[in-house]
Structure 1
Amino acid sequence: MGVPLIDLLDFPQQSEKLLEACQEWGCFRIVNHNISRTLMSEMKSVVRSFFDLPLEIKQRNVDVIAGSGYVAPTKINPFYEALGLYDMASSEAVGDFCAQLDASPHQREIVETYAKAIHELAMDIGLKLAKSMGLVGDLFSGWPCQFRINKYHFTPESVGFPGVQIHTDSSFLTILQEDESVGGLEVEKSGTFVAVDPMPGSLLVNLGDIAAVWSNGRLCNVRHRVMCKEASIRVSIATFFLGPKKGLVAAPEELVDAENPRLFVPFTYEDFRKLRISSKSHAGEALLLVRADALKHQS
């Protein structure tokens, strides 16, 4: 069986299926979302044109927080290149991103339209998931969405090798617009990596480390990787619904009781992000460093 498929127009009937997917897989594919095929195609064209820009222009895309700007190929990930935007809900941040890359008025309009729609979608998915867990209220207000566009330049020599290493996302959830013709994404299920083949018109959602903490361990932060299947260019568009910009990441009180004590100490999202980087814990290991029982034992 492949990654679960969730129809966003079929709620609350799909609530139980959504929760099961998040607990067992940590990822799911969505259809009937609010991003039209036309907008997805136009956005992909803009993304490709951005990567064709000269290096000196791409390097203007500087970090707002670590890893949020231009990422050049490295020794560890030699086939991977990325551009980023820290806060998609901020019209000023979107404008700065477009200005850095000399976007035309038409390109800017597409980026602005996509950013608004994908941010609304991230909020909607988060609230649907929370409701499936019996939670209500304005739970994710002010949580930023980071936008990252990815390019994999696979060569004949790279076939069979990873385009990006095994990792979990640091975010609460990630919405991925895949390359419609070039696969390679694999997610881990019960210790085995399962290929996730593209499905045109759909979007893939992964849960990250923050989801595991916020749910008090109920939700799965899926480990995944990208493998080179063929010598070609692979382009994807990822939106990371991060965590609170202000305040602490912590499970809501409704998910904590005598039978389910708080598993993780509260922390700020930025501190956790820095912890992942400083400890080189990019595949979920960082959660062990913020486990309440482990820290209590150390003290």
Structure 2
Amino acid sequence: MYAQAIRELAVDIAEKLAESMGLIGNVFQGWPCQFRLNKYHFTSQTVGSSGVQIHTDSGFLTILQDDENVGGLEVIDKSGAFMAVDPSPGTLLVNLGDIATAWNNGRFYNVKHRVQCKEARIRVSIAIFLLGPVEGAVEAPTELVDSEHPRLYLPIIYEDYRKLRVSKKLQAGEALALLRSHS
């Protein structure tokens, strides 16, 4: 029940993001989600190390229910510095991934982040990833492309993009540069 409710929330947030950009419709209704439980076994030997390397999420949108007792999530701000995202009881964290950056034609950005081991404790988080369409390519809607905002990315098939990231070991959004439009 939780997975279904949070999936519906992810789609609803994506639809509201599209509406905020003047787009109407059920663009994200058929897009699959991935549900993941993350468990980190931090020990005194791992304090100060990365639990998860710097990365962006490959899909469209992520909703994270972070561990309310153990911090460690960090995002990179505009200056390139890491900023801790302290856990806050009863909240969810939403961030955009690479597919969202391509879909919205660069108007919103994917978020580089990592998990750092801050203390010797078990850390648990729950994430749902709204990925990309099963069929067809993702590209910026024509309403988001104009003379001031030329098309930035070639059409992207989500599964091909995910494989490209893995094969090239480009985990922090760099794979998007390989799909830049030259028009």
TM-score by length of structure 1 reads 0.60
Using the alignment, how far apart are the partners of 1:181 and 1:259 within structure 2? 45
Q: What is the RMSD computed on CA atoms of the aligned residues?
A: 0.9
Residue of 48, 55, 60 corresponding to 1:167: 55
Give the residue type in structure 2 aligned to 1:153: H
Give the residue type in structure 1 aligned to 2:54: I
Q: What's the counterpart of residue 13 of structure 2? A: 125
Q: Mapping of 1:179-258 within 5 angstroms?
A: 179-190=67-78, 191-258=80-147
Q: Which runs of 4+ in 1 moved over 3 A?
A: none
Using the alignment, how far apart are the partners of 2:148 and 2:93 within structure 1? 33
Using the alignment, how far apart are the partners of 1:141 and 1:176 within structure 2? 20
- Can you list the C-alpha shifts for 1:24-59, whole angstroms capped at 9, x where unaligned? xxxxxxxxxxxxxxxxxxxxxxxxxxxxxxxxxxxx
Q: What's the counterpart of residue 286 of structure 1? A: 175
Using the alignment, how far apart are the partners of 1:158 and 1:242 within structure 2? 31
Residue of 152, 156, 159 corresponding to 1:270: 159
Q: What's the counterpart of residue 54 of structure 1? A: none
Q: What's the counterpart of residue 4 of structure 2? A: 116
Using the alignment, how far apart are the partners of 2:70 and 2:13 within structure 1? 26
Residue of 120, 123, 136 corresponding to 2:24: 136
Give the residue type in structure 2 aligned to 1:157: Q
Q: Which has the higher contact order (CA 8 A, sep 6+)?
A: 2
Using the alignment, how far apart are the partners of 1:224 and 1:128 within structure 2? 24
Among all aligned residue pairs of Structure 1 and Structure 2, give the percentage whose two residues are the same amino acid: 68
Q: CA deviation at 1:140?
A: 0.9
Using the alignment, how far apart are the partners of 1:253 and 1:268 within structure 2? 18
Using the alignment, how far apart are the partners of 1:268 and 1:244 within structure 2? 8
Using the alignment, how far apart are the partners of 2:15 and 2:26 within structure 1? 8
Matched residue of 1:199: which SS?
Answer: coil
Using the alignment, how far apart are the partners of 1:134 and 1:221 within structure 2? 20
Larger radius of gyration: 1
Q: CA deviation at 1:130?
A: 0.9
Q: CA deviation at 1:258?
A: 2.0
Matched residue of 1:249: which SS?
Answer: coil
Q: Which runs of 5+ in 2 are unaligned?
A: none
Q: CA deviation at 1:272?
A: 0.3
Count of matched residue positions in the alignment of Structure 1 and Structure 2 = 182
More helix by share: 1
Using the alignment, how far apart are the partners of 1:234 and 1:189 within structure 2? 23
- Can you list the C-alpha shifts for 1:113-134, whole angstroms capped at 9, x where unaligned? 1111011100110111111111
Using the alignment, how far apart are the partners of 1:270 and 1:141 within structure 2? 18
Give the residue type in structure 1 aligned to 2:4: K
Q: Which runs of 5+ in 1 are unaligned?
A: 1-112
